[in-house]
């Protein structure tokens, strides 16, 4: 029986900073040491996630904010909460911070975005990947833009500043935030740092005591 407590870790950060690459590397590391985990992402591949994804570029800020938040709530109900409760390490490529940042680029105010997302569980660890704007722009150019946000000329500096602000806000609200500057560190090194923090969080968490063992102790 798995007696370790599950954890929910989100990985966010500006366009092209390396979220997907880092999450994949982290998954490989956890697999190598036999830790039960689940890699997931937002938008999800549910009907709501597809609706949100397809609306990017053609819908206004309020519509996008509500669609992405609805997908987030479904993600929590169907994937994040049940899997973490079953003892898995759930790692999401984009989560709440994306909702607080991307829709500001669509003209929405941060306070309103917080309210729309008020019922989204805080992650046990919110990783915010950062890099110098010049590095971000170079990574985006090398990989290629995937959406209309990434084709804006000043996107890297603007997003980097908004993620800093979102990280401050999450930390002030009591969420454990890990900011990692990836400008000089490859994805493997970044994944190894996150892995160490996950180990630390698990060591701090009380193990789940199965009911029978608890009764025997009492």
Ligand X SMILES: Nc1ncnc2c1ncn2[C@@H]1O[C@H](COP(=O)(O)OP(=O)(O)OP(=O)(O)O)[C@@H](O)[C@H]1O
Ligand Y SMILES: Cc1cn([C@H]2C[C@H](O)[C@@H](COP(=O)(O)O)O2)c(=O)[nH]c1=O
Sketch the per residue contact string, 52 through 91, with ligand Y: x for CB under 6 A, - otherwise.
Answer: -x--x-------x---x-----------------------
> From the list ligand Y, ligand X, none, which binds 143 (C-beta under 5 to 8 Å, kind-based)?
ligand X
Q: Kindly state the tokens that stand for 112.
A: 């309103």
Pick one of 102, 187, 194, 198: the residue that binds ligand X (CB under 6 A).
187
In the region spanning residues 132 to 171, those forming contacts with ligand X, defined by CB under 6 A, are: 139, 142-143, 146
Residue partners of 162: CB distance under 8 A and separation at least 6: 100, 101, 104, 105
> From the list ligand Y, ligand X, none, which binds 17 (C-beta under 5 to 8 Å, kind-based)?
ligand X
Pick 15 or 117: Cβ nearer ligand X:
15
Residue partners of 176: CB distance under 8 A and separation at least 6: 124, 125, 126, 201
Count of CB atoms situated within 10 Å of the CB of 26:
27
Q: What is the 3-state secondary structure (H, E, C) of 76-103?
A: HHHHHHHHHHCCCEEEEECCHHHHHHHH
Q: Does 198 bind ligand Y (CB under 6 A)?
A: no
CA distance 116 to 54: 20
Nearest distance from residue 8's CB to ligand X, in Å? Answer: 19
Percent of residues in the chain assigned helix, strand, coil, to nearest 5: 55, 10, 30
Pick 64 or 136: Cβ nearer ligand Y:
64
Q: Which residues bind ligand Y (CB under 6 A)?
A: 42-43, 53, 56, 64, 68, 94, 98-99, 102-103, 146-147, 149
């Amino acid at each position: 029986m798995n007696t370790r407590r599950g954890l929910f870790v989100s990985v966010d950060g500006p366009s092209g900073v390396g979220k997907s690459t880092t999450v994949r590397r982290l998954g490989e590391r956890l697999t190598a040491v036999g830790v039960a985990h689940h890699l997931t992402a937002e938008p999800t591949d549910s009907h709501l996630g597809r609706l949100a994804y397809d609306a990017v570029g053609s819908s206004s800020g309020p519509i996008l904010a509500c669609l992405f938040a609805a997908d987030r709530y479904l993600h929590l109900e169907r994937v994040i909460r049940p899997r973490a409760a079953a003892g898995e390490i759930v790692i999401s490529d984009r989560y709440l911070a994306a909702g607080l940042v991307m829709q500001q680029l669509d003209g929405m105010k941060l306070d309103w975005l917080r309210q729309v997302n008020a019922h989204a569980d805080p992650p046990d660890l919110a990783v915010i990947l950062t890099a110098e704007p010049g590095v971000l722009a170079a990574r985006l150019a090398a990989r290629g833009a995937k959406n209309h946000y990434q084709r804006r000329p000043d996107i890297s500096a603007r997003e980097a500043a908004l993620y800093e602000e979102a990280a401050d806000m999450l930390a002030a609200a009591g969420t454990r935030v890990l900011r990692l500057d990836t400008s000089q560190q490859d994805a493997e090194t970044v994944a190894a740092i996150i892995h160490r923090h996950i180990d630390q969080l698990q060591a701090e968490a009380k193990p789940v005591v199965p009911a029978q063992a608890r009764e025997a102790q009492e």
